[in-house]
Amino acid sequence: MSMDAISVIRTKRDRGELTDRQIDWVVDAYTRGEVADEQMSALAMAILLNGMTAAEINRWTDAMIASGERMDFSGLSRPTADKHSTGGVGDKITLPLAPLVAACGVAVPQLSGRGLGHTGGTLDKLEAIPGWRALLSNDEMLAVLEDVGAVICAAGDGLAPADKKLYALRDVTGTVEAIPLIASSIMSKKIAEGTGALVLDVKVGTGAFMKDLADARELARTMVRLGVDHGVRTVALLTDMSTPLGLTAGNALEVRESVEVLAGGGPADVVELTLALAREMLAAAGVTDKDPADALKNGAAMDAWRRMIAAQGGDPDAPLPTARETHVVTAAESGVLTRLDAYGVGVAAWRLGAGRARKEEAVQAGAGVEIHAKPGDRVTAGQPLLTLHTDTPERFDYALEALAGSHDIAAAGTAFAPTPIVIDRIGPTA
């Protein structure tokens, strides 16, 4: 007897466990258009409200993978490792991380995405570099990986097409937050990608998708389990996203800061997280005799960056775009900056033109927010806290609305205890 969408929806609505056959059928039928959007919307909402067992999530992920092609990097001359971040504000870590790990002997096939809303997108950042292109064929991707050791590009349409269709639906039906669907969405693409090892950067805090530490830990454990069950060496770091990473949020601004890190400088928090993730990626790939800090110091990571950018048509020496207009936000009083809200800064950067509300919208390469003080710093009245950048000055008022109440200044001498960048590590047995 053939399946029908209504019975699948009712099973999950009534808190039942979907069978393997139900899952395989509904994912395939939705991808083919046999199951209507409104029916999959109802099922997604039932999953959000009632959850899924580990077995259901595993099978759902299998079905998403089976909807498209699988890549194979086994022919490369070096092991592979990838990183996925759940997204945040100022999260430019992929840019220095991929060439850094490549400089240590591990190939990084980094399939990345674009920004939506207050979280930035890696591809948008790199497209600020003149000539750089995100779209590569599978053969081009393999060639760059073999030659350079790192590639950052867009995922092809053939990789987990069920996820692409389902994510678009979740985005407009209030079901993005369903942890089983988040985990299967991320992991179906990463498993289909074919990497041998995977390190997950699961962010938690006001500027992150996951605001609550317990939810972030559940998501991390679910994804690690999925990776291990599918033969991918997987580990997750829970990292703080209550404060923006680094001193910039915006496309060209973040590229400039990433190059500073590769040159041996850059903000301490960006360097710390880049090295922490690099060490996890190297260990997961079986490389234990290399210290990524050395590759930052001796220029090897910078050399890999320049070769990676050039291999994708970019000019690593070209001047980066700058915004035509700026506006400075100053401190209203003297004291200690105790809070700088990542979400407020992210929304401001988005409203200035660094992000988009819909996927088809263009972004301004030079737009964003430059940060002059971080929590724990002493500030004086009138001192610049932030500089806003945009080509369209009529956006300033809208961005300033997002920054209202986004920072706190306490009296001088107030004790300040920063949240660590890496909050926890979730391994296969966690």
**Angstrom distances, CA of residue 376 to CA of 127, 244, 335:** 33, 14, 10
**Cα separation, 121 vs 82, whole angstroms:** 16
Cα–Cα nearest to 107, from 160, 69, 146, 153: 146
Q: What's the chain's length in residues?
A: 430
CB burial of 210-229 (b: ≥16 within 10 Å; e: otherwise) equals: beeeebbbbbbbbbbbbbbb
Residue 71 to residue 137: CA distance in whole angstroms: 12
CA distance 23 to 183: 16
Structure-token match 């591990």, residue found: 106
CA distance 351 to 335: 29
**Residue type at position 6:** I
Residue with tokens 């809303």: 117
Task: At 174, list the tokens.
Answer: 């209030």
E strand or H helix at 66, and its extent? helix 54-66
Question: Residue 356, Cα to own-chain centre: how many angstroms?
Answer: 16
Which residues lie across from 85 on neighbouring strands?
201
CA end-to-end distance (rounded Å), the chain: 41
The answer to whether 117 and 355 are in contact (CB under 8 A) is yes
CA 5 from chain centre, in angstroms, equals: 33
Active site residues: 84, 163, 170, 185, 189
The region, left, alpha or beta by phi > 0 then psi within -120 to 50, assigned to residue 194 is: left
Helix axis angle for 179-193 and 37-50, nearest 10°, is 110
Pairing of strands 378-379, 422-426: unpaired
**Pick from 18, 15, 102: which is nearest to 58 by CA?**
18
